[in-house]
Amino acid sequence: MEPIKDNLYKIRHSLAHVMAQAILEIRPNAKLAFGPAIDNGCYYDFDFDQAISSEDFQDIEKRMRKIINQKQVFEASKKTLAEAVNYLDHLNENYKVEYCQELGARGETEIGFYTNGSFTDMCAGPHVEHTGQIPHDCFAIDTIAGAYWRGSEKNKQLTRIYCLVFNTKAELKDYLAKRELAKQRDHRKLGKEMEYFMISDQVGQGLPLWLPNGNVIKESLEVFAKETEARNGYKRVTTPVIAKEELFYTSGHLPYYASDMYPPMELEGESKYYLKPMNCPMHHQIYSHRPRSYRELPLRLAEYAPVYRYESSGSLSGLLRVRSICQNDAHIYCAVDQLKAELIKTFQMTIDYYKKFRFDQITFRYSTHNPEKKEKFVDNPEMWAFTEKVVKEVIDDLGVDYILGEGEAAFYGPKIDFQAKSVLGREESIGTTQLDFAQPINFDLTYTGEDGAEHRPFIVHRAPLGSHERVVAFLIEHFGGAFPTWMSPVQVKIVPVNASCAEYAAKLAEELQQEMVRVDVDYSDNSFNKKVREAIMSKTPNILIIGNKEVEENQVTWKKYVSQKEQETISFPEFQQRLQAAITGRLMDNFVDVKV
């Protein structure tokens, strides 16, 4: 989407020109490529005859501030296509010439330019009025990277210089602090350090292996979701991971979704089989295995099941983008007069999950179809109009703000994606709800109405917790690995002060294990202080310190990760009671609210 041309955009765009101007002062033979504003600043691509490095950053920034202080006016002008090509060719700006000619091939007859001081660049704007309107301390040269011209490996590799740009020095400082915290909390980094998951080259890219610690988190999330769904009238089903191609032709995944599916398995004398990219076609088979009555609706079928999608290798990223996905999936078959109520219930379930995990903000993204792209969407204008109207009315009734994603609907109906922000300010799409009018037609799904006639149901596809992989990745970074007791791989760490306390520690561990508490005892020869330090480093939510006094009085000294400087000595039965309350109540007892 085109960026909003607000004042910050103008500052960022203007600074791209200022940065290029400053760099040309120290590398006058450099050739210019593209220099756009981006969501955290700007960049410019150069073809250098003499390499540039981070050692030059200070000099570049100094020259940029000098240009800012000169209050150079940004003057717009236009040239005919021929004039523009001749002008840029005279400057030996071959990259600009190529792009200028491409614009001409698209039908452009005039090319825009902006001049500030001695610097002129082919540009459509907009900019600030003069460089003096750019705060001199709101930016910082960030990094150098390689970038192929026009993004193609067939072209020459250029040098891209990034610059961070914000409204004020305080905003820049805040961004840098959040980014540093994000590096420390990166789920790939913590996934390795805390042994949550791994990716094996021998297994394949994008196919994560859950290690014991990560599996606890994943299963805790799944149990929570299953209990929530049971309370909301869902019925659980289980389906295979492969199916005949005919099923996916009926559903519409072939051909609409074929590019995201694994290639077929071909067996002699048999139909082709595909790994399923979604559960819905199989759930539709379960719905249609016998006649249905209106009394059974809404019928909510739920399944936590693996699906497989062939994401491009370049898009794979830890657990956020994978090829093996375990979805928090369900399909709600309902009558037309039940649609709004079911949509509202699924929206509320999603919001409740996010509030539970203390996500700061929730953004709704409402996606509609593009009627001009008939190859991407089912061709049924009447049903598109109706279903998009229903979803829009529900959003309006809820009174929530939303972003419109035109042309981003599922091929079978409109959808709402739920995007959440972590404590780091990072936003990810976590859950989704989709309204499907096409597959009930494709699979000839019906129910007998109160009037005795056959009617066509609608289907609500919903995954409020999306996939295990993406949600766990988000939670790892959101919590920084410090999971609440109910989700923590180790819920209690027992630290005996000395060897004479080990027997009592083992007795307590046995009692906790019988209560299905995940407990670990540090029997190592490490010093007491090192044991406590390692327990804290492991981010275990509850640490029990056992000394001679605790042994004598059947007590424990309880230290929590969330408040490391505090501890209390209580009876072991009281600790058990309070621990179980935290687990059964799924309290967010280990949440460290990070404000940067």
What are the tokens at 116? 């500030």
The reply to whether 289 belongs to the active site is no
Is 36 within 8 Å of 42 (Cβ atoms)? yes
* Distance from C-alpha of 390 to C-alpha of 485, rounded to nearest angstrom: 41
What are the tokens at 186? 């990166």
Is 539 within 8 Å of 559 (Cβ atoms)? no
Q: Which among 404, 411, 433, 419 has a CA at the least distance from the CA of 1?
A: 404
Catalytic residue among 17, 27, 461, 468: 461
Look up tokens 């540093």; give the residue: 180
Catalytic residue among 329, 417, 436, 522: 329
Look up tokens 């099923």; give the residue: 247
The reply to whether 329 belongs to the active site is yes
| 291 phi-psi bin (left φ>0, alpha ψ -120 to 50, beta other) | beta
Q: Which among 486, 587, 590, 576 has a CA at the least distance from the CA of 541?
A: 590
The reply to whether 461 belongs to the active site is yes
* Distance from C-alpha of 349 to C-alpha of 347, rounded to nearest angstrom: 5
* Distance from C-alpha of 294 to C-alpha of 339, rounded to nearest angstrom: 14
Q: Which among 367, 357, 297, 288 has a CA at the least distance from the CA of 333?
A: 297
Q: Which among 420, 535, 404 has a CA at the least distance from the CA of 477?
A: 420
Catalytic residue among 123, 163, 280, 501: 280
The reply to whether 331 belongs to the active site is yes
Catalytic residue among 185, 276, 300, 331: 331
Catalytic residue among 127, 415, 468, 493: 415
Catalytic residue among 31, 63, 187, 309: 309
Residue 509's H or E segment, with its range, is: helix 502-514
Query: How many other C-beta atoms are found inside a 10 Å radius of the C-beta of residue 478?
Result: 26
Which residues, 6+ apart, have CB-to-CB distance to 308 below 8 Å? 241, 261, 262, 275, 276, 277, 323, 324, 325
Catalytic site positions: 280, 309, 327, 329, 331, 415, 461
